[in-house]
Amino acid sequence: MADKELEQKLIVGSKIKIGEKYSAWNGFRQGEIITLVQGEFEYENGLYTEAQCAPSIWCEDRSEFDSIYHLFGNDLEEFQDCEVVFVPPMADKGSFQFPMHRPVSENDWPEDFKHDNGNYNNTCLRCEAKFVGHKRRVLCKVCDNPQLTGE
């Protein structure tokens, strides 16, 4: 399978069956089926820290995501004898989206997540809590809501 064709199949919701060669060196069991979820990664560009998403699996022992590029290499060269056994039906790529599989705090702005600039790690100017939201937000959701802060 060509790299581009494989990459188009490795999307959120896809199921991958682990092959014998792949399982021998990475800790998965042969025949194990993993499901890709939407993983979140911090990317720092010198000005902002931005949360970026990629198809991933959750690594429980490290409490972080492993993206398809970490699992299978930047060019997917390590896919080896694994097999894509399910690709979610997608009439329109924009209409199919799995929820984020990360904790959302009361300070976050989850309604911002779907926007291009809505996944930045910010610090609230009022309470100094960390929160995820639009890159221009200066207050966390708690401090922005007078009913929650008692003001």
**What pLDDT sits at residue 149?**
54
Residues 27-86 have pLDDT tens digits of 899 999 999 998 888 878 777 777 788 899 988 888 889 999 899 998 889 998 999 999
**What pLDDT sits at residue 150?**
57
Confidence of residue 102 (pLDDT cuts 50, 70, 90): low
Rounded to 5 degrees, φ, ψ at 24 are: -65, -25
Name the average pLDDT for the chain.
Answer: 82
Going from N- to C-terminal start, the domains of the chain cover 3-95, 110-149
pTM, to two decimals: 0.58
What distance in Å separates the CA atoms of residue 130 and residue 149, rounded to the nearest whole number?
Answer: 16
Confidence of residue 95 (pLDDT cuts 50, 70, 90): very low
CA 19, 23, 28, 29 torsion: positive or negative?
positive
Residue type, 60: E
What distance in Å separates the CA atoms of residue 39 and residue 55, rounded to the nearest whole number?
Answer: 6
Cβ pair 32, 117 in contact under 8 A: no
